[in-house]
Structure 1
Amino acid sequence: MARDYWPYFDPDYENLSIRINPPRVSVDNTSCSDCTLIKVDSVNKPGILLEVVQILSDLDLVITKAYISSDGGWFMDVFHVTDQQGNKITDSKIIDYIEKALGPKGHTTEVVKTWPGKRVGVHTMGDHATIELIGRDRPGLLSEISAVLANLHFNVVAAELWTHNRRIACVVYVNDDTTCRAVDDPTRLSTMEEQLKNILRGCEDDEKVARTSFSMGFTHVDRRLHQMLFADRDYEGGGLATEADYPPSFRPKISIDRWEEKGYSVVSVRCKDRSKLMFDIVCTLTDMQYVVFHASISSDGPYASQEYYIRHMDGCMLDTEGEKERVVKCLEAAIQRRVSEGLSLEVCAKDRVGLLSEATRVLRENGLSVTRAGVSTVGEKGVSVFYVKDASGNPVDMKTIEGLRKEIGHTMMLNVKKVPASDKAQEEGGGWAKTSFFFGSLVERFLA
């Protein structure tokens, strides 16, 4: 009787090189006078650059320069970083976290299953249910969404919302208003899903008006928003973005060349510098199935110059003009999704069910449209940051803000974070408001 013999593979063999050569991380505050150098040497693996950049971005560190090299089986990179005020990183807790997060046990692989056909995605994880929504943007939409959640007795623990090319993507973390636990009642979840679906659809019956993917695993919220808008093809805006949406100073200049001798496509990006810019670009290239082999990043005053040497995962360069054009459009969209020219308002109050609904209702009634938002719960306080314009997309009249302050001042604290009238302040790098939301991640717990 014939037998088939198969070679035996030790299941630990794949991780052998990592165990023999674990990642080496150093945080150097002596070599450079005006920044901290973070050096990472590691065995190369898919997605490692994005993991490293994601950790630095979550800590709100500003990457002023970076040099990336990952030819062969080894990954080496150097990041020049500062805090948001331009100072070196001296907090021992942050340094310790960086060394542990990027060290031997710091890297994790994210696996996300998606169902692109669903309009509203809901799944439960730990003490929260996660809702993902995507659809056509319109004034007051966030207010309508939060009102539905409040009426159904869902408490919004955290949320992040982006708009781009008249599309909206939103990830909301909710729990039950009485138990503070995730809701697992299928009837209640189904009711919420149907009501949110109707709001996103509005008066339209077109299937393309509103849809989203249903994530069955946890992924980084900013990356998830990029994935949702990319799947929604927001980069094919059909020229809907206007001069008012993205002034010339915010329009990136992107070119793609070929380095025949080495077999690389060279993606060059020059645009207005800002927080998390490198993350947004690397995230998009990674999700488009491109591998970054080398990169050079630098800041020149208010502008950033970034160069990436890439190949497709199958080892090929970008050969066709159509493929190059698509990469350029997708990178432009990734850069512009986080750009917010509107006024930035921070609203803080004692956390309670319906707080987000109340805040967004007042914004809507005062003729303000939310272009981007971040909501978080810090202890017993609910903190929300809203980037707003008037309903016509124009800058907000400060008289409106003063009226808003008087209206909500007895229950909420309102702080104006950014006034776009001063172009000089933006050129000097002071025009970007800082927002960071970890949704109970390791970073928040470690640094608490």
Structure 2
Amino acid sequence: MKKVCWPYFDPEFDNLPERIYGPTCRVCIDNESLEDCTVVKVDSVNKQGLLLEVVQILTDMNLTICKSYISSDAGWFMDVFHVKDERGNKLKDQNVIDYIQQAIGTTRGPLNSAKAKAYASKVFEYENPSDHTAIEMIGTDRPGLFSEISAALADLHCNIVEAHAWSHNTRLACVAYISDQSTHTPIEDPHRLASIEDHLTTVLRATTNTSSLSSSSRSNNKANQGNKEVQTKGFLGGIDQGTMTNVERRLHQLMLSGRDFDGPSSSACRNSPRTLLGSEIEEDGRKTTTVWIESCEEKGYSMVSIECKDRRRLMFDAVCTLTDMQYVIFHASITSHEGYAYQEYFIRHVDGHALNTHSEKERVIKCLEAAIERRVCEGIRVEFSAENRVGLLSDITRVLRENGLAVVRADIATQGEKAVNAFYVKDISGNQVDMGIVESSMKKEMGSIVLHVKNESQLIRSSTSPERSRFSLGDMLKSQIERISHNFVTIK
């Protein structure tokens, strides 16, 4: 018999980076150095998107990133995060600390690696989205649209297990996880999936300007993996049971694809000899959001600077947007002072070039401003808790609509037999919301229901802008970046 020979592969080849650099990802969590926050240090072999993965892990755990320093030149990623928990304290729960180390330690592979998912499930009772069917939508927003979507799914005998919706600049994006009403299992029948898509397309088409919007629709599920994308108007539907893309990142992507950054509230940009600047102005004349771009010619970077009101998940929104726009973040500095956040990102496009044209800089500014604005919902936050049942979300949103309220953001979840619904609502006519009437209407329609109201527009505002007192990574890089770069060993 003829002997068959195969090329030889060293079984240790995959571990070569680890043998050269040491462990490919080191995570150190320090609770001793600072009094008011925990320091998370990450050293790793770099790859595109790694910063976003790390920030996403911290953000998904509802941690606040107070300060961060990032450097990822010469193929190595070094990052320091100062974080606090939801109550503004250090991280004390050992399960949380262990999970951060475990999750970040697996970012050398896919973020949804089996090891990380198994650990999350064990520690935090993580629910796998593959147990449900995911639907993604984007269209032109109008009062009552989210209510119509909820009613359409109820009429189609779909149980909404979880849903998240954002509206911004006349656009609405929604990601919903559904199951079959009778079996509580994922919906896999391709004909039924097509019917659901058609119904939702009809709902979203109602006020969509077909001359300005042309989105794609896709169905991708276990029973229908081979479907091609079909062009529709006003609907972007993904029916997927395998992906683990962060829901908030997906909402950012949907909004970006829907060009919400071209909406009427996007600020005008203006050129000056050294900067391109965009800003938002409050009624009292004070800046709320400022984004500008400068050139760092020494190393061929573009420096993107952001100043805005500080809030949780702000860093995630900025990093997510830059990453999805195909920019690589090489260095960054993030800090906050007196309720304001200051961020600097040194970036290049994935093709290695800096931002050279006015139009490219203008687009980056608009997209970052939109990413910051999408999550900010000043107004009435209403939380409902009730016994879960099919059609509950449809009934709640119908009552809100009948009381003249429009849903501008929604986060829906089920916890066992309970359904927890959080909405940001505003009066369609611009009047003050009378939640007493809404509560009585809810109880009349649905009986026992727990309602909490928080007016997030009543914020304490400083009469003057905070002083620009902060560490500037730009100043440091312009004088010391050569020293930083030479500290790395380049393997040829």
Report TM bin, short chain: 0.7 to 0.9
- Give 2:257's aligned amino acid: A
SS in 2 for 1:187: helix
Q: Name the CA distance, whole Å, in 2 between partners of 1:42 and 1:147.
A: 48
Aligned match for 1:211, one of 235, 240, 261: 235
Per the TM alignment, residue 392 of structure 1 is displaced from its structure 2 partner at its CA by 3.0
2:347 matches 1:310: yes
SS of match in other structure, 1:126: helix
CA contact (8 A) 1:171 1:225 kept: yes
**SS of residue matched to 1:235:** helix
Which residue of the partner structure matches residue 350 of structure 1?
387
Pair 1:79–1:394, CA change in 2 (3 A): farther
Higher RCO (C-alpha under 8 Å, 6+ residues apart): 1
Deviations 1:93-140 (A, max 9, x none): 1111111111146752589xxxxxxxxxxxx97321111110010111
Q: Does 1:188 align with 2:214?
A: no
CA separation in 2, counterparts of 1:336 and 1:267? 17
User: Could you tell which deviates more after superposition, 10-19 or 243-252?
Assistant: 243-252
Could you tell me which of 220, 224, 231 is aligned with 2:257? 231
Question: Relative to structure 2, which stretch is displaced further, 221-230 or 197-206?
Answer: 197-206
2:280–2:288: 8 Å Cα contact kept in structure 1? no
Bigger CA drift: 234-243 or 203-212?
Answer: 234-243
Cα 1:65–1:244, aligned 2, differ >3 Å: closer, same or farther? closer
Paired residue total: 410
Deviates more, 1:159-168 or 1:8-17: 8-17
Q: Which residue of 2 aligns with 1:126?
A: 130
* TM-score, with length taken from structure 1: 0.84
Residue 80 (str. 1) matches residue 82 (str. 2) = yes
Q: Aligned with 2:306: secondary structure? A: strand
Q: Work out whether 1:339 is the aligned partner of 2:376.
A: yes
SS at match of 1:423: coil
**Larger deviation: 81-90 or 204-213?**
204-213
User: Cα RMSD between the aligned structures?
Assistant: 3.0
Note if contact 1:163-1:169 (Cα within 8 Å) is conserved in structure 2. yes
Report the secondary structure of 2:17's partner residue.
helix
Matched, 1:383 2:420: yes
- For residues 69-148 of structure 1, the aligned pairs below 5 Å read 69-104=71-106, 107-108=109-110, 126-148=130-152
**Which runs of 4 or more aligned residues in structure 1 lie more than 6 Å from their structure 2 counterparts after TM superposition?**
7-12, 240-250
Identity over the aligned pairs, expressed in percent?
Answer: 53
Shift of 1:422: 4.2
Asked whether the equivalents of residues 375 and 383 of structure 1 are also in contact (C-alpha less than 8 Å), the reply is yes
Counterpart CA distance in 2 for 1:415 and 1:241 is: 34
Specify the structure having the higher radius of gyration (Cα).
Answer: 2
Residues 194 and 219 (structure 1), Cα distance of their counterparts in 2 relative to 1, 3 Å cut: same
User: Once structures 1 and 2 are overlaid, which stretch shifts more, 335-344 or 187-196?
Assistant: 187-196
State the match for 1:432 in structure 2. none
- The within-5 A match list for 1:10-409 is 13=13, 16-18=16-18, 20-104=22-106, 107-108=109-110, 126-202=130-206, 206=210, 208=213, 210-212=234-236, 214=238, 217-239=243-265, 251-393=288-430, 395-404=432-441, 406-407=443-444
Q: TM-score, normalised by structure 2?
A: 0.77
Find the counterpart in structure 1 of residue 226 from structure 2: none
Unpaired segments ≥5 residues, structure 1: 1-6, 112-123, 428-448
Aligned partners of 1:348, 1:44: CA distance in 2, in Å?
44
Confirm or deny: 8 A CA contact 2:133 2:239 kept in the other structure. Answer: no
